Amino acid sequence: MREKQQKQMPLISLPTGHPREVELEMISKILDKTPNIYDHVLQDLNGGLKIERQRTGANGMSAEQVTRAAIVMKLFNFTYEDLAFHISDSRSLRRFCRIGIFDKGFKKSALNENIKRICPETWELISLDLLAYAKDNNIEKGRTTRVDCTVVESNIHPPCDSMQLYDAVRVLARLLTQARDDFKIKIVFTDHRRRAKRRMTAIQYAKGKKQRLSPYKDLLKVTQKSIGYAIKAEETIGGICTTNFELLGLLNSIKHYSDLARQVYDQTYRRVIQGESVSADQKVFSIFEEHTDIIIKDRRDNHYGHKICLTGGASNLILDCVVLEGNPADSTLVEQMLDRQKSAYGRYPLKVALDGGFASKGNLNTAKAKGVKDVCFAKKRGLEEIDMCRSHYVYKKLRQFRAGIESGISWLKRSFGLTRCTWKGFRSFKSYVLSSVVAANLLTIARKQLAPAG
């Protein structure tokens, strides 16, 4: 059965005093003082089952070890393979993850499986526990906040229709080949991968719209054929009464990618052949990360991923993080972000500084009605300084304060991997973002407590 924490501390080496090691030791103390974190993680690892029922089987990783390994992964921006190596090789990381000298460490597959079990809601609860710790230790009171949005990209290639059609053909061909060769299912189909790749390349190197039309038509043709093969394969496999879970998983994959291939075919046919303008909410930007949204910034830069809204505090802690679906305007998020601050701290902040995209007369009135004394929008958009803040001096100070969140966002992107999410699926996308925020907050709190007084 899984454990919340180690019943007895394993034999571990002594610290050496390296600055990064000192930070890890302080983070370890913070985690020990907030034991509720391990309770949250334990619920995910046990799948909601009562601990008393789990009397047999290997112990595996404890909730404490999983939590600490996930934090190490984010602090050092490791891949799972790097994480497995460094936890086994580094004395300081072994001590931080509570792994004894004579223990082997963990394989990357075990780390992957356990860390991915921590759901986004759990990471949010962990973040709230850390904010409560920061409040109790006079690090952050949440009285002055700043709000801004940024984009975290999905791990996809540029979503050209031709590349997506090729992706659909090659994935369906691979799955059908697996069903035929590995499971001996009698499926008749033609592998069009080479043909689809040639047509995709011809489209990419075509000099004009007329030159692209012919290879597009042929690529659509082979995509339609591949979809037809997949539909027949679904009927064949579905007609087999089997308890083979691998085969059932393969059938689900064929259905999943067949549906996405039809969507890509439809949007490409409408755009290229019929000349329609297909709206973003009707498009699939990746058959591998179908949750991906298109985010257009300042009417010039296109990003493919998800918009996140961050609230920062005077201590440089990230007080809140929301992963958004679609591309809602910043001006629609003000009330939501203020209400979330009240949920976290039991009251609304006294001062709020926001980016110019949040500015509107309605948002100003909403914030004032909630008891916010000073509201600063980086761009006035027709609003008067004296209407937003109690004085011009306060507005100027808040406007300067707001700029600090830009450096915080840059730090998250450079040091914690928030430029691009490398985890698959929307649930994992949210976990990836929120775990990065938790790791950044832990490091910020640790450095605050290590800083000399005064």
What class, spelled out in words, does domain 139-156+293-430 have in CATH? Answer: alpha beta
Angle at 336 between CA 334 and CA 338, to 5 degrees: 70
What class, spelled out in words, does domain 161-282 have in CATH? Answer: mainly alpha
Instruction: Report the percent of the chain where pLDDT is more than 90.
Output: 83
10 vs 176, higher pLDDT: 176
What per-residue confidence (pLDDT) applies to 240? 82
What per-residue confidence (pLDDT) applies to 53? 37
52 vs 28, higher pLDDT: 28
Where on the phi/psi map is residue 47: left (φ > 0), alpha (ψ -120 to 50), or beta? left
What per-residue confidence (pLDDT) applies to 103? 81
Mean pLDDT across the chain, nearest whole number? 92
What per-residue confidence (pLDDT) applies to 100? 80
User: Mean pLDDT, to the nearest integer, of 316-329?
Assistant: 95
What per-residue confidence (pLDDT) applies to 105? 87
User: Mean pLDDT, to the nearest integer, of 223-228?
Assistant: 97
Delimiting residues of CATH 3.30.420 domain(s) in the chain: 139-156+293-430
Q: How far apart are CA 31 and CA 37, in angstroms?
A: 8
pTM flag (> 0.85):
yes
What per-residue confidence (pLDDT) applies to 102? 74
For 367-409, write each residue's pLDDT tens digit.
999 999 999 999 998 999 999 999 999 999 999 999 999 999 9
Indicate if the pLDDT at residue 48 is higher than 80: no
Q: At what angle do helices 63-75 and 36-45 cross, to 10 degrees?
A: 100
Delimiting residues of CATH 1.20.1440 domain(s) in the chain: 161-282
Residue 66's Cβ-count burial label (10 Å; 0-12, 13-18, 19+) is: buried
Residue 10 pLDDT level (bands cut at 50, 70, 90): low
